[in-house]
């Protein structure tokens, strides 16, 4: 269906057609693809679960590097229609591989029961706070990605070319791909917990967003994009690692993951228009044309970081309790095996 949405988008000539083909159908398809794929990772892996999640989600950042370059070149040579069709063909190839490779895990086959509705969410304050934090985080999270071409053309003292401003989109995505994998590897080696890494990266990303206000040249903007993309990468990866510890049982992990990412999607939907509206209050003022969006970007992320403190603390307690019990069971089993051997 995603390929169909892109092919139909290539035929769109009216605004409502774009909204129906990509805004509605494309949005539904990407949601149905992303959430189940991420939710299945914990069922496949145990010892390297974090790294597996990091590698899986890093694919989105790699796509964020490839697609802007491909689309920009095709817009100049083949037009909008062929740019969309090429993206559709790329998606068809990659999704076919995924459809062939992905299969139900042994754990999923042994425990087929699932819960579409989880009423325990209402009483789970930690998870409810995490959902609210995800909403606030994504209210401003995507603002730099959306405004990068415009800022390159109008926000710098010496504006860059249209091609370069568009290619700058690949910079934060490339940096984000690394940051999606690195923290996950750290979590697997138990050097730091996912909770600590997530709150640290969230605070740093929020501070960097506020530092964006002082950027007025290409070098500073490129450095901001690299750093923001790098530190914001953990924000997209680690929630999938934390949600299982905010879930009371295995059957509701997928449901709760869908709720968290649904809240994030709603925040992304309304966040960018709010940021652009705030920009309008400073229109035409030197070095302040993007001030509203920059403040919105930084303050929403910092607010989300504050809201994350309680749920991440609860997730850490539950994770440590689980690891302690798992260690005790392993020791008991080893003792039983040793006594039987004697």
Q: What is the CATH number of the domain that holds 237?
A: 1.20.1250.20
Whether residue 110 has pLDDT greater than 70? no
With respect to residue 307, please indicate whether it lies within any of the assigned structural domains: yes
With respect to residue 107, please indicate whether it lies within any of the assigned structural domains: no
With respect to residue 108, please indicate whether it lies within any of the assigned structural domains: no
pTM: 0.83
Give the per-residue pLDDT at 112. 46
Calculate the average pLDDT of the chain: 83
Average pLDDT over every residue of 126-151? 92
**Unique residue bearing structure tokens 């969006």:** 293
Lowest mean pLDDT among 143-157, 191-205, 319-333: 319-333
Strand, coil or helix: 115: coil
Distances (CA, A) of 80 to 12, 18, 197: 10, 12, 41
Handedness of CA 170, 171, 175, 180 (dihedral sign): negative
Whether residue 82 has pLDDT greater than 60? yes
**95: which 2 tokens?**
């999704």
Domain that holds residue 80: 2-102+117-337
What percent of the chain shows pLDDT beyond 90? 23
Give the per-residue pLDDT at 325. 79
With respect to residue 342, please indicate whether it lies within any of the assigned structural domains: no
Q: How many CB atoms lie within 10 A of CB 189?
A: 10
More confident residue, 44 or 152: 152
Number of domains in the chain: 1
Q: Percent helix, strand, coil in the chain (nearest 5)?
A: 85, 0, 15
With respect to residue 112, please indicate whether it lies within any of the assigned structural domains: no
d(CA 3, CA 24): 14
Average pLDDT over every residue of 85-114? 73
Handedness of CA 20, 25, 30, 32 (dihedral sign): positive
**253: which 2 tokens?**
């992990």
With respect to residue 176, please indicate whether it lies within any of the assigned structural domains: yes
Which H or E element spans position 293? Answer: helix 291-341
What count of residues does the chain have? 342
Q: 250: closest CA among 42, 35, 31?
A: 42
Whether residue 51 has pLDDT greater than 80? no
Average pLDDT over every residue of 285-294? 78
Whether residue 109 has pLDDT greater than 60? no
Phi, psi (degrees; rounded to nearest 5) at 187: -65, -40
Whether residue 39 has pLDDT greater than 70? no
Give the per-residue pLDDT at 143. 92
Give the per-residue pLDDT at 308. 92
More confident residue, 242 or 288: 242
Lowest mean pLDDT among 37-46, 133-142, 162-171, 180-189: 37-46
Distances (CA, A) of 131 to 60, 89, 128, 221: 22, 35, 5, 31
Give the per-residue pLDDT at 204. 94
Are residues 135 and 270 in contact, defined by beta-carbon separation less than 8 angstroms?
Answer: no
With respect to residue 319, please indicate whether it lies within any of the assigned structural domains: yes
Give the per-residue pLDDT at 46. 67
Give the per-residue pLDDT at 261. 86
Give the per-residue pLDDT at 239. 84
Whether residue 203 has pLDDT greater than 90? yes
d(CA 214, CA 42): 41
Q: How many CB atoms lie within 10 A of CB 112?
A: 8
Name, in order, each residue with C-beta under 8 angstroms of 291's C-beta and a sequence gap of 6 or more. Answer: 213, 279, 282, 285
Whether residue 315 has pLDDT greater than 70? yes
Q: How do residues 213-258 score in pLDDT, each as one tens digit? A: 999 999 999 999 999 998 988 888 788 778 888 888 777 877 888 8
With respect to residue 95, please indicate whether it lies within any of the assigned structural domains: yes
Whether residue 120 has pLDDT greater than 80? no
Q: 335: buried, middle or exposed (CB in 10 Å: 19+, 13-18, 0-12)?
A: exposed
Distances (CA, A) of 117 to 34, 335, 339: 19, 41, 46
H runs (alpha helix) in the chain:
2-9, 15-18, 27-44, 49-77, 79-101, 106-110, 125-140, 143-154, 162-167, 170-188, 194-211, 218-237, 239-242, 253-280, 291-341
Give the per-residue pLDDT at 108. 52
Numbers of helices and strands, H then E, in the chain: 15, 0
């Amino acid at each position: 269906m995603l390929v169909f949405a892109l092919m139909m988008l290539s035929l769109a000539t009216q605004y409502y057609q774009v909204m129906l083909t990509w805004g509605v159908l494309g949005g539904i398809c990407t949601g149905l693809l992303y959430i189940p794929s991420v939710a299945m990772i914990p069922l496949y892996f145990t010892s390297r679960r974090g790294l597996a999640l990091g590698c899986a989600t890093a694919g989105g950042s790699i796509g964020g590097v490839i697609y802007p370059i491909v689309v920009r070149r095709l817009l100049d040579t083949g037009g909008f229609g062929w740019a969309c069709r090429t993206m559709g063909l790329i998606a068809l190839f990659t999704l076919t591989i995924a459809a062939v490779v992905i299969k139900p895990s042994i754990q999923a086959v042994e425990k087929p029961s699932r819960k579409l509705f989880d009423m325990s969410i209402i009483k789970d304050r930690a998870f409810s706070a995490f959902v609210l934090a995800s909403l606030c985080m994504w209210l401003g999270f995507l603002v730099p990605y959306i405004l990068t071409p415009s800022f390159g053309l109008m926000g710098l003292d010496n504006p860059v070319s249209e091609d370069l401003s568009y290619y700058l989109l690949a910079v934060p995505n490339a940096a984000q791909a690394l940051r999606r994998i690195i923290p996950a590897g750290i979590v697997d080696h138990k050097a730091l917990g996912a909770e600590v890494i997530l709150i640290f990266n969230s605070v740093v990303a929020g501070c960097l967003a506020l530092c964006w206000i002082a950027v007025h040249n290409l070098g500073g903007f490129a450095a901001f994009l690299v750093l923001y993309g790098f530190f914001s990468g953990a924000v997209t990866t680690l929630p999938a690692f934390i949600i299982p510890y905010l879930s009371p049982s295995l059957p509701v992990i997928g449901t709760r993951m869908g709720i968290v990412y649904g809240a994030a999607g709603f925040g992304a939907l309304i966040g960018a228009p709010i940021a652009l509206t705030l920009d309008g209050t400073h229109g035409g003022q030197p070095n302040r044309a993007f001030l509203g969006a920059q403040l919105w970007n930084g303050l929403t992320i910092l607010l989300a970081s504050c809201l994350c403190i309680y749920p991440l603390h609860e997730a850490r307690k539950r994770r440590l309790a689980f690891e302690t019990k798992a260690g005790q069971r392993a020791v008991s089993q080893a003792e039983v095996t040793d006594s039987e051997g004697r």
